[in-house]
């Protein structure tokens, strides 16, 4: 199994060393940065599976780093490390696309548990999903199009391609509308009611030739959300 790597962006040398040592002890590889500018440079270049990101950094604020990471590497998981206890700061980080946060001071066991949890639900983080097989063709997500064996080509919008990428990276797992809003739309779903997810799924099914009455690719799990079923048996529908 490939060793997973964590980029630790933290200006407190003692805390950074403690976190890095704990990660090494539990089998992770690490990268380190002690200021915002270096952290951003590494965040967009190095091969890592997760970022631990301090919010208060010299040179560049952690939220600015998070914003730029989300623009350049939308699939990369980020956990915020912050001494700020204010709810507004945590909410802002989550709205910008952070996967989780840990408030300082924190215990090593708690941090490692959160790292493990985020990585377990992040095979998804769909950076490696570029093509998806569909009945009679293939969806090329880099080109935002579906190519069928009969020669037809159907264009996907950027949002449709990202939605399919996220679903396809989580085969067999029910994904709620709230999770899709948070991870694909980058919106806080708290208190939000919208049918936009359902409308995008309906259009995506049409473009994939996935019959709503008998979906073989994107199944509806009644009352819970959607599941990418690849080319499989009929699943529960609304």
How large is the angle between the packed helices 158-168 and 196-208, nearest 10 degrees?
Answer: 90
User: Any idea how long the chain is?
Assistant: 238
Which residue would you say has higher pLDDT here, 43 or 85? 43
pLDDT at 126: 46
How does DSSP classify residue 32? E
Burial string for 189-202 (b: 16+ CB within 10 Å, else e) reads beeeeeeebeebbe
Instruction: Decide: helix, strand or coil at residue 79.
Output: strand
Residue partners of 59: CB distance under 8 A and separation at least 6: 35, 36, 37, 38
Question: 156 pLDDT exceeds 50?
Answer: yes
* 197, 189 Cβ separation under 8 angstroms: no
Domain positions in the chain: 5-120, 131-228
Residue partners of 92: CB distance under 8 A and separation at least 6: 63
* 3, 29 Cβ separation under 8 angstroms: yes
Q: What is the DSSP string of 98-167?
A: -SEEEESS--HHHHHHHHHHHHHT-S-S-TT--EEEETTEEEETTTTEEEETTS-EEE--HHHHHHHHHH
- 5-120, what's its fold? Rossmann fold (3.40.50)
54 forms beta bridges with: 81
State mean pLDDT over 55-60: 92
Question: 31 pLDDT exceeds 90?
Answer: yes
Q: What is the CATH number of domain 131-228?
A: 1.10.10.10
Least confident of 43-47, 90-94, 225-229: 90-94
pLDDT tens readout for residues 160-207: 998 998 898 888 888 888 888 877 886 767 777 788 999 999 999 999
Rounded CA gap, 213 and 149, in Å?
23
Chain centroid, CA 185 distance in Å: 11
Using only the alpha carbons of the chain, give its radius of gyration. 19
Closest CA to 55 of 24, 18, 82: 82
Equal CATH topology for 5-120 and 131-228: no
Full-prediction pTM beyond 0.75?
no
How does DSSP classify residue 46? S
Rounded CA gap, 70 and 186, in Å?
9
pLDDT at 236: 37
The share of the chain scoring above pLDDT 90, in percent, equals 47
State mean pLDDT over 106-118: 91
113 band by pLDDT with thresholds 50, 70 and 90: very high
Instruction: Look up tokens 């890592």; give the residue.
Output: 48
Question: 136 pLDDT exceeds 70?
Answer: yes
């Amino acid at each position: 199994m490939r060793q997973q790597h964590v980029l630790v962006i933290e200006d407190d040398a003692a805390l950074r060393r403690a976190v890095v040592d704990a990660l090494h002890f539990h089998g992770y590889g690490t990268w380190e940065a002690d200021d915002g500018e270096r952290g951003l440079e590494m965040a967009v270049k190095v091969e890592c599976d997760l970022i631990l990101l301090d919010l208060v950094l010299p040179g560049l604020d952690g939220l600015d780093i998070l914003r730029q990471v989300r623009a350049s590497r939308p699939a990369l998981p980020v956990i915020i490390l912050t001494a700020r206890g204010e709810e507004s700061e945590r909410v802002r980080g989550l709205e910008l696309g952070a996967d989780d946060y840990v408030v300082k001071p924190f215990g090593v066991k708690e941090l490692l548990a959160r790292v493990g949890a985020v990585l377990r639900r992040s095979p998804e983080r769909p950076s490696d999903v570029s093509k998806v097989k569909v009945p009679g063709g293939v969806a090329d997500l880099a080109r935002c199009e579906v190519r069928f064996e009969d020669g037809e080509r159907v264009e996907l919008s950027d949002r449709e391609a990202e939605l399919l990428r996220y679903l396809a990276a989580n085969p067999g797992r029910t994904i709620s509308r709230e999770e899709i809003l948070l991870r694909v739309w980058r919106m806080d779903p708290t208190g939000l009611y919208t049918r936009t997810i359902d409308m995008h799924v309906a259009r995506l099914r049409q473009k994939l030739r996935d019959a709503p009455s008998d979906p073989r690719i994107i199944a509806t799990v009644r009352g819970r959300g959607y599941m990418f079923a690849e080319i499989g048996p009929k699943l529960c529908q609304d």
